[in-house]
Structure 1
Amino acid sequence: MHFTRRTILGGLAGLALAAAGAGSALAFPDKAVEYIIPFGPGGESDISARLQQPYFQEKFGQDLVISYKPGGGGAVGWSQLNSYAGDGYTVMGVNLPHIVIQPATKDVGYTTDGLTPIYWFHYTPDAIVVPADSQFKTLQDLIDYAKENPGKLTLSGSGKGTANHLASIRFDELAGIKSTYVAFKGTGAAVTALLGNQVMAEWGYTTVGAKQGDKVRMLAVAMDERHPLFPDVPTFQELGFDMVGGAYRGVAVPESTPEELREQWSDMIGEINADEKFQKQMIDGGFALIDVPYGEMDAFMMERKAQYLEAAKAAGIIK
């Protein structure tokens, strides 16, 4: 399913909230907003939030204050999201496939349907990455090796039950190969393993290609179209494999947040996403923009959940 940019509704200042203890009305937002990242600083969720920060201030006149609540691969933060006031002044970053896979594997203190994402704004597309001097010059080279040497093709990736892991399972099935996925704690560690020749390839993201430059070569990216930063790298689709996706990032609000505020937050994030300068910064960082506003959320989440749970079952992550 392809999601297109929704026209941003005008008059963002038109939504009025009653001031506490007073009968007057104030335009929202009228004070700083806390943006909680459920991971530590320095990761891609933090990077994208910091890119959004100045645009929020410029467009809506208030500070977007970023804080961190790491733990459990995001689960600590997400389990606490609904305990915050639904007044619009606390929002939290959310990630896919994390919020689908985590609750499906064990009790993590929250459920997928118990969270309220209001906008998905980008994803880091899955990509197969090899060292610049790799014997694999094309994706077909890698597939041929895997078919001739079942199980001997090793690929690093960030964790189990993650976008990298699910992409590995799906590609093996589509390509008719058997590879060995080696889980590392984070993208950085997976890249280190690749560059140190501990593995032959990596299930990484386009952001790895952007950051590592000439040290690596990407064989294919999981996008509808080629990434503007890598015009010479084909998509899996072009090569005959139905793979589009990666690690998605968005914004969620507490479940007590009124519909009007959910809609407004959706419009605000959408307006930032529509800014050409912001788009260029994201693309230069290797990200891929996507626009899934609140009004399209149910259909998008239904599709994602079905795909992730199917892959997780195939991987033996869930029963």
Structure 2
Amino acid sequence: MIRRRTFLQSLPALAAMPASFPASVLAQAYPSHPVRIIVPVSPGSGSDVVARYMSAELTKALGSAFVVENRLGASGMIGTDFVAKAAPDGYTLLCTYAAHYSNQWVEKTPYDAVRDFEPVARLGMSALLLTTAANSRFRTVQEVIAAAKRKPGGVSFGSSGNGTTSHMAAALMSSMAGIEMTHVPYKGPAQVAVDTASGQVDVGFGGVASSLALVKGGRLRVLAVTSLQRSSQLPDVVTMDEAGLKAYELVSPIWVMAPRGTPPAIVTQLSRAMTAAAATPAFKSYCIGQGLEVDIADAAAVRASAPAELERWKKLVALTQAKAKAG
């Protein structure tokens, strides 16, 4: 009877334990089996190559396999929604880019970019290049602007699609320069680079990685880079700011996120491991080789900046006049 009474008296304490117990236990045991890093775009993209580098580093640092899985479709929304609805246990992560926030203002997404995710880290960023064919009449950004002013709509530009980062880059240029250009949307950055090199469009906006081979092959001329700092890969290329569009900047950060509700101890563990790996010379060298730049922030910093990030991409999407999310 005494044993039964003692057991019954202990029940309230046992019932109270789950509120604080699971996070510490999970953190101690984590990771005990493979972790998936979901990349919502194709292999070879900036977020994909960063995810693959980090998967190897995390496997070594944390002692369990981290595996990259590409889940494509709907401009990144399919893979992103998969992570938003995954169990918040640290075993499903998202490595993503600007579309994480901008998609919410182009279409009605099945998730909220801020509320449904737990930021883990920011690891890098990708600038865009304004390019033209090697034999083009345009040699500077100002020449493009002058031609567009002489004949509104007479200069065409290629982008990766309506409402994409490259579309936003052109829209920002047009807004700041007071010009109108004709938009030619493509399904991806590779075809933008190819058609710009062949003169099918006058200029193109695309990532460093997707344009670099044609630049080095002498088929594309780079007029400017969209970051405030020059590209490590192309140090002789001016920024849009240096070309006369003061304070022009459009870059796509690369973030890692977890589903909302992931235990803070696990988020902290992952954030520390990732930012430590990103701070090494080896990661910097790797990023330069991929046309990326290192840009590190821990979980707390990314979480604090998330609302402003969402608002920033809302304004950029509005410049494109892409279909905005209702409400």
CA–CA distance in structure 1, aligned partners of residues 302 and 67 of structure 2: 25
Deviation, 1:299, is 4.1
CA–CA distance in structure 2, aligned partners of residues 209 and 112 of structure 1: 29
The number of residue pairs the alignment matches comes to 299
- Counterpart of 2:256 in structure 1: which amino acid? V
CA–CA distance in structure 2, aligned partners of residues 295 and 211 of structure 1: 37
Q: What are the equivalent positions in structure 2 for 1:156-195 lying under 5 Å apart? A: 156-195=158-197
Q: Does 1:269 align with 2:269?
A: no
Equivalent residue, structure 2, for 1:239: 243
Runs of 4+ in 1 over 6 A off after TM superposition: none
What are the ranges of 5 or more consecutive residues in structure 1 without an aligned counterpart? Answer: 1-15, 20-24
Equivalent of 2:286, from 281, 285, 296?
Answer: 281
Q: CA separation of 1:299/1:17 partners in 2, compared to 1, >3 Å: closer, same or farther?
A: closer
Q: Answer with 188-197 or 154-163: which moved more.
A: 188-197
Equivalent residue, structure 2, for 1:99: 100
- Secondary structure of 1:240's partner? coil
Deviation, 1:143, is 1.5
Equivalent residue, structure 2, for 1:230: 234
Q: What are the equivalent positions in structure 2 for 1:205-224 lying under 5 Å apart? A: 205-212=207-214, 213=216, 214-224=218-228
Between structures 1 and 2, the one with greater helix share: 2
Equivalent of 2:60, from 55, 58, 61?
Answer: 58
Preserved CA contact (<8 Å) 2:193 2:211:
no
In our comparison, the structure showing a higher alpha carbon Rg is: 2
Equivalent residue, structure 1, for 2:25: 18
Q: Answer with 192-201 or 111-120: which moved more.
A: 111-120
Deviation, 1:141, is 1.7
Q: What are the equivalent positions in structure 2 for 1:15-164 lying under 5 Å apart? A: 17-18=24-25, 26=28, 28-96=30-98, 98-113=99-114, 114-164=116-166
CA RMSD of aligned residues (A): 2.2
Preserved CA contact (<8 Å) 1:166 1:308:
no
Q: TM-score, normalised by structure 2?
A: 0.84
Deviation, 1:151, is 0.8
Preserved CA contact (<8 Å) 2:157 2:205:
yes
Preserved CA contact (<8 Å) 1:209 1:218:
no
CA–CA distance in structure 2, aligned partners of residues 68 and 206 of structure 1: 21
Deviation, 1:274, is 0.8
